[in-house]
Structure 1
Amino acid sequence: MIPSLVVISISTLILTPAATATTLSSTFPSTRIAQQVFDGDNFLKYDGIRGPYVDRKSYGISRDPPPQCTVDQVVMVKRHGERYPASGEGPSIEVALKKVNSTVQSLESGKGDLDFLRGNWTYYVPSDCYEAETFTGPYAGLAEAYSHGQQYRARYAHLWTNNSSSSSAPLVLPLFAAEYQRIIDTARRFGEGFVGEENYSTQAAMNLVSESSSRGADSLTPSCHQDDSTARDKCNAYPYRLPQFDAAAERLNAQYKGLNLSWSDVVTLMTMAAYELNARSESKWIDVFTTDEWVSFSYIWDVNFYYCAGPGNKYIRAVGANYLSASLSLLQQGPSAAGSLFFNFAHDSNISPIIAALDIANPPQDLPTDRVAFDLQQHWRITDIIPMGGRLTIERLNCSAGSALGAAGIYVRLVLNEAVVPLRSCQDGPGYSCSLQRYAEFVQGLPVFADECAVPPDEPQHLDFWWNYTTSSKENWHRGERCNGLA
C-alpha cells in the first residue's frame, strides 16, 4: 500500500502557503519557508503519462512575462486531453482483470490488496470508448481542454482583442488539429474555452490537418522515411522487465492462491490504474502497488518515448525541427504580418520530437532498459514533457526597455507545461529568454526534415498550413467515430 502517494488537483502546486517562494517573481515571503519538498509524493509524476495532466516542476522562473516585456505572439502545440486506454491496450487489460476477478471472487475471504474487488468496483471504460477523450470525473479530458482554453484566454486576451483589423468584423481564431477524433475534440473544447461557447460558431475555425504520410512536411504528424534500427528495436521491446514488477507479482500471488500473475500482467494492471483517474476521481488500484513499483513503471515509459519518439532515435531531431523551422518563420514575420495566435493539437509522439530538437530535456547519455537510471531520468522524465493535455508554448516577447538583462528588442521564451524552460545555450534576454536572432541561429542549425527524413519529392517539403488556413466554421463540430455516451 502506498498512502504517501497522493493525487493533486489539476494545475495545483503541491506546496503549503509558506513554501511558495519558488513561484514568486520578486520577493521571498517573510513567513517561515517549508523545509519539505512534496513533488515526489504526487502520483501524477509516476503514471507514465497515462493519467491526468500535471504541471512541469518549475525552475522558479516566473510564468508571467518580465516587467519590461509583453507577449505579442504565441505558437502552442498541445497533446489531446485525458483519454480512455488505447484500443491496442484494451484486450490485455480485460484479460488481466478477468484473471484477477475470477481468482479473488472465488476465494471466500482474504486480507489482501485486491479485496476491494469484492465490493462495487467495476471497469470504467464504456462500450466503444477505447481511444476517446474522457467526459466524467474531475480529470476528464474534455473538461481539461475547456479549462485550458479559458486560462489562455485570460493570459493572452490582449492578443485576441488586437487580432481584428476591423472593429465591425468578427474575430476568427484558427485552430489546427491533426485529423484524429480525440485531437479534434480537444481542439474544439479548447476553442470553446478560449472564445466562449456562445461565440465558437462564429469566432473559431477548425482546420483539420490530415495525418496521412503523403502530407510530407506540411503536417502536425510528420513521418520519417529513415529508420534507426537500434532505437526501433529498443522501442519495440516495451514493456521492459524490471525486478519491481516481479516483486509485485510475487506479493499478490502470495495473497491469493491460484492468482498466477506475471510481471507483464502487473504492468498491464498499473497501466489500467493510471487511466482510471481520467474518468474517475480516484483509483483503488493505485495503492495496490508500492511506491518503488510506480517509480519503475514511470521509468519504462521514459525509456519507451526516449527510443520511440525522443532523442534516443537519431532521426527524431529532424522530425521536431520541421515544426520549429516553420514556427521560426512566424516569429520572424511577427504578429502584424503573420498573426498573433497559433494553437495546434497533436499526439504525444508528435510533441516529444520537438522537445528533443530543442535539447531542453535530453539526457547526456542513452537510457538503459534494465534498471532505473535516476540521474538520467532527471533530464528526460516523460511526465514532465508530455502528460495528457501537455503543451509546449513558444512566446514571442517584445521588450521595450534595455537593461543588464538584455537590450530592447524581440526575444523568444519556451514554456513547457506551464513552466518556463530556457534553452541550454541561450539565455541572453529578460526572464532567461533568448534573443530572436540567436534563437534563429539555433533553429537554423537543426537538420532539415525533408532532407534528413527523405521526404519524397512529390510531397510537400515545408510546413505551410499556418499560411493557408480557412476561416470557415465548416469543421467546427467535426464528428468521426464517437464513443457510447460522448456528446
Structure 2
Amino acid sequence: MYHSTGHGRGAEQAPLLRPTIATIQSHPPPRHRHKRNGRHPVPVFSIIFTLILLLIVAFLAWDVSSYGHCYVTPLCRALSGRNGLEQTWWRNQGPYAPFRPLGPGGGKKGLPKGCEISQITILHRHAARYPTSSVGECLLSAMKKLENRDVQIPRRHPELAFLARTDLKLKAWDFDGLTDQGRKQSWISGRQVKQMYGSFLRNAEGIFTRSSGGERVVETSGYWLEGFRGERFKLRDVSKLPKVDLVIPEGEAYNNTLSVHSCPAFQNLSPKPSELRFSDLSPLLEPTLNRLNAVLKPRPALEMDDLVCLADMCGYDSQSKGTEWEGWSKWCGTFTKDEWEIFGHGKDLKRWYDLGETSRYGPTMGAGYVIELLARLTDSDVIDNTTTNHTLDSDERTFPKGGKRLFVDFGHDNEMLETISALGLLTEHRPLPTTSVPPKRTYILSRIVPFGARMVFERVSCKMGNWEPDPEAGSPLRDDQGNDGKRDYIRILINDKIESGNHPSCEFSGLANFGLCELDSFVDSQQFARQDVDWSICYEEYDETDENQRG
C-alpha cells in the first residue's frame, strides 16, 4: 500500500510502511519474555471455579440431609437421601400415613395348584382425612403461637423458612372430613379389589357391603363402590354416591363391631394407658421442644402437646391438596430423622398399650368382629354376647350367612387394631419400651392402619387328591360345604402382605409356605373370642394406674 507525498498528479507514491534495517535492529526482541516482572498471572478462573464447586458440594450436602428437600432428586435417591427421608417420614406418621401396599396382594397370586378362593371378607379403614375436631383445636392453638413468633425467618435454619409463607390458619381444612386425595384413594382401592378378585367375582353369589355410620366412613364406601363398579372418578356430593347395603349407626347406644363405643369402662378410663406410657417417652422430645422455642421464639412458648400436634402436620398436610399425591409437605423437614423416630414410636406405643394384645380392653372390643368373621367363614349363625348387633346379625338380609361372597366392611383404625389383637396377629415378644426407641421397631402403625388400610380374609378351597397335608386329619377329606377331596383354608393379608395365623396348627400346616392355614385349625385358634372373652369388664370400675404398676 502507498500514500501520496504531494498534491498533484505527478506526486510521488511511497510505501505506507517502509521497514528499515535500522528500525529492526534498534528494537531487539526481549529475552525470556515469559519471566517479565518475575510474577505469575493470578489464576482468577481457578479460584472462582473452586468457590463454585465448594458451594455446590455444600448445597448437595444440605439437600440430602434431614434438613434438605432433595431438589436434586436423582442424587438424593442414589445416596439414599430422599428415599431415606421419605421412608423415615412415612414410617413415623402412624395412622396418618398414606396407604402403601406391602406386598403383591391376594387373589390367585401365590396359591398352589388346585386351590381357589371361595369367600372373601375385607375390613377397610376410611381413607385420608383432615384432622379430627379435637386434634384441629390443638393444631390451631400451636399455629397461633407460631404466628406470634418473634423470629419470622430464622437464620441458619432454612428448613423453617417455609413458615413465612405457609397457611397457619388452616382456612380450607374440613376437620373430620375426607381430603380429595382420600376420595381418590377410596376409588382406587375399589378398582384394585375388582381387578384382583375378578375371576372369583365372575362366579360368586354377589357382594355385601357394610359401613359404620361416620360421614367419612360412609363417603369412603361410596367412592370405593364407584371404583369397584368401574365408574369414572369424579368428585361428587355424598348424596350422589352409591350406597352400601347396610349402614350401622355409631355411638354408645349401638352395638357396632365397626365402631365400638359400647364399652363404658374403656371410654371413661382416665388416665388411659397411652397417656401414662407416652409421658415416659416425652422427655426424649424436650431437646426438640427447646430447639424450636429458641430458634422461633413463639409467643407463648410451645408446649409438649403443641409439639406432638405439629408433628402430625407432616402426614396431614401432605395429603391435603388435590386428588393426586404431590410429595411430602415442608412440615416434614421441621424435625430430624432421630426426632421422627421418637414421634413415630410414640404413636405406636400409644395404640399398643390402649388396644394391643396385652391391653385390658383392646382384644375384648375386637372379639365381636372376630365372631362375625368366623360365622361367615363357616357359613353359620353368629353366637356372641359382646359388640355384635343381634338384631342385624340374625337377619339374612342384613348379615348373609357366608357363602361364596365378597364381604366388605368399612370402619376405623381402632377397630382394626382391636380385631388384630383379638385374632392374636402381629404379636410382640415383649412390651414396647416406653423410655427409649428400640433400634428395630416391629409394631409400626403406618404398616398396619394407614389411611385406607385393608385387612383381607380369603377362604380358600383346595383339591387335595391323594395328598394329605395334615397327618392328624381324618379321611376322606371333606370341606365345610361337604365337597369330597377338598379342604378349606384361610389366608390373611394386611395391606396386601400375607400374615400367618398365630396357632401351631397354622404354622405347621402343609400349605404354610403359601400362607394358608387349615380353616378348622384357625377356628380352634380363636379360643379367646369364642369362649374366653369377658364382656362384663366393660362395666366394671378399673384403675389403669394399678395396671401400670404391674408393668
CA distance in 2, matches of 1:160, 1:306: 36
Indicate the structure whose relative CO is greater, using CA pairs within 8 Å and at least 6 residues apart: 1
Cα distance in 1, alignment partners of residues 94 and 105 from structure 2: 22
Secondary structure of the corresponding residue to residue 367 of structure 2 = helix
Identify unmatched segments of 5+ residues in structure 1: 8-14, 17-33, 165-170, 457-487
Q: Which residue of the partner structure matches residue 111 of structure 1?
A: 156
| Paired residues for 1:153-192 under 5 Å | 153-164=194-205, 173-192=207-226
Cα pair distance change 1:443/1:412, threshold 3 Å: same
Q: Report what 2:377 is aligned to.
A: 331
Q: Tell me if 1:385 matches 2:448.
A: yes
1:197 lines up with 2:231 in the alignment: yes
Letter in 2 for 1:397: V
- 1:370 maps to which residue? 435
User: Quick check: 1:301 aligned with 2:347?
Assistant: yes
Determine which of 96, 111, 131 is the counterpart of 1:85.
131
SS at match of 2:502: coil
What amino acid does structure 2 have at the position aligned with 1:251? Answer: R
Could you tell me which residue of structure 1 aligns to residue 415 of structure 2?
A: 350
1:75-108 deviation per Cα after TM superposition (whole angstroms, max 9, x unaligned): 111111011011001122112122223316x547
* C-alpha contact (below 8 Å) 1:310/1:352 kept by paired residues: yes
Offset at 1:248?
Answer: 1.6
Structure number, greater radius of gyration: 2
Separation in 2 of the partners of 1:239 and 1:190?
36
Any residues of structure 2 matched to 1:4-83 within 5 Å, and which? 41-56=87-102, 64-83=110-129
> 1:186 deviation in Å?
0.7
Contact 2:95–2:413 at 8 Å: present in 1 too? Answer: no
- Secondary structure of the residue aligned to 1:174 is strand
Aligned to 1:411: 489
Q: What's the offset of the Cα at 1:226?
A: 4.7
For 2:200, what is the secondary structure of its paired residue?
A: helix
Of 297, 303, 322, which aligns to 1:262? 303
Summarize deviations over 1:29-71 as a string: whole Å, max 9, x none. Answer: xxxxx9xx96993421111222312334799999543343221
RMSD of Structure 2 on Structure 1 (CA): 3.8
Question: Tell me, what secondary structure is at the counterpart of 2:374?
Answer: helix
* Gap change, CA 1:398 and 1:85, over 3 Å in 2: same
Partner of 2:167: 122
| Letter of the structure 1 residue corresponding to residue 98 of structure 2 | P
Alignment of 1:230-245 (within 5 A): 233-237=272-276, 240=279, 241-245=281-285
Rounded to whole Å, the distance in 1 between the matches of 2:420 and 2:270 is 17
1:214 equivalenced with 2:253 (yes/no): yes
1:122 Cα offset (Å): 1.8
Q: What CA distance in whole angstroms lies between the structure 1 residues aligned with 2:149 and 2:409?
A: 46
Q: Which secondary structure state, in structure 2, belongs to the residue aligned with residue 333 of structure 1?
A: coil
Secondary structure at the aligned position of 2:99 is classed as: coil
Partners of 2:303 and 2:367 in 1: CA distance: 41
Q: Distance in 1 between the 2:502 and 2:282 partners?
A: 32
Counterpart contact for 2:148–2:298, Cα < 8 Å: no
Conservation of the 8 A alpha-carbon contact between 1:321 and 1:443: no
Q: What letter is aligned with 1:389?
A: G
Which residue identity lines up with residue 87 of structure 1 in the other structure?
A: S
Residue 521 (structure 2) pairs with residue 438 (structure 1): yes
Percent sequence identity over aligned pairs? 23
CA distance in 1, matches of 2:531, 2:65: 47
Name the CA shift for 1:346/1:228 in 2 (closer, same or farther; >3 Å): closer
2:119–2:458 contact (8 Å) kept in structure 1: yes
Contact kept, 8 Å, 1:235 with 1:308, in 2: the verdict is: yes
Q: 1:337 to 1:77 in 2, by over 3 A?
A: closer
The separation in 2 between residues aligned to 1:342 and 1:299, in whole angstroms, is 33
1:132 Cα offset (Å): 0.6
* Secondary structure class of the residue paired with 1:89: helix
Gaps of 5+ in 2: 1-61, 70-76, 234-238, 381-399, 471-476, 478-485, 540-551
How many residues in Structure 1 have an aligned counterpart in Structure 2?
415
Query: Shift in Å at residue 445 of structure 1?
Result: 4.5
What is the CA distance between 1:390 and its match in structure 2? 0.9
Instruction: Report the TM-score, using the length of structure 1 for normalisation.
Output: 0.74
Deviations 1:186-229 (A, max 9, x none): 11111111123379999864410112333336665363355599
- Would you say the 8 A contact 1:178–1:184 is kept in 2? yes
Q: Is contact 2:368–2:529 with CA below 8 Å preserved after alignment?
A: no
1:441 Cα deviation after fit: 0.6
